[in-house]
Structure 1
Amino acid sequence: MEMQRETLAEDELATITGYQTPSRQIQWLMDNHWQFVLTGARRPIVGRMYARLKLAGVKPSASNAIAEAWTLDLANVS
């Protein structure tokens, strides 16, 4: 089983934006209010969790972008 990267691959970003060229991808990301960073080669990088939230229609924030911590509760088990 292949482990997913923390950032979108180039082909995934091209699928979302509809553009292969980094400059057009950047313009699409800005027009659609997506957050991204640029590499030294001026290619946009988008986080996988951020993209999932945006595509689901959820406004990404610090509170919903991290996994919820949980603990095992055996109080009701007899």
Structure 2
Amino acid sequence: MDIQSETLDEDELATITGYQTPSRQIQWLTNNHWQFVLTGARRPIVGRVYARLKLAGVKPNAANVVAETWTLDLASVS
């Protein structure tokens, strides 16, 4: 099983934006109202969960981005 990074890799970002060059990716992300951060090399970084929500047509917010907290419930175990 592959473990995915918390952020999109360069190929995934190029697939979504349609551009290979970071400056064009930044322009596309800005024009399409995607949130991103820039590395020191001015490459855009997009979170994987954020991207999945955007691609699904869900407006990301604090309520739907945070993972649900899981707890062990042993109440029904005898």
TM-score, L = length of structure 1:
0.89
Q: One-letter code of the match for 1:63?
A: A
For the aligned residues, what is the CA RMSD?
A: 1.5
Q: Residue 71 of structure 1: CA displacement? A: 3.9
Q: One-letter code of the match for 1:45?
A: I
Quick check: 1:67 aligned with 2:61? Answer: no
- Runs of at least 5 residues in structure 2 that lack an aligned partner in the other structure: none
Q: One-letter code of the match for 2:64?
A: N
Q: One-letter code of the match for 1:29?
A: L
Q: How many residues align?
A: 78
Q: What CA deviation, in whole Å up to 9, does each residue of 1:13-62 have, x standing for no partner?
A: 00000000000000000000000000000000000000000000000001
- Runs of at least 5 residues in structure 1 that lack an aligned partner in the other structure: none
TM-score, L = length of structure 2:
0.89
Q: Which residue of 2 aligns with 1:17?
A: 17
Q: Which has the higher helix share?
A: 2
Q: One-letter code of the match for 1:62?
A: A
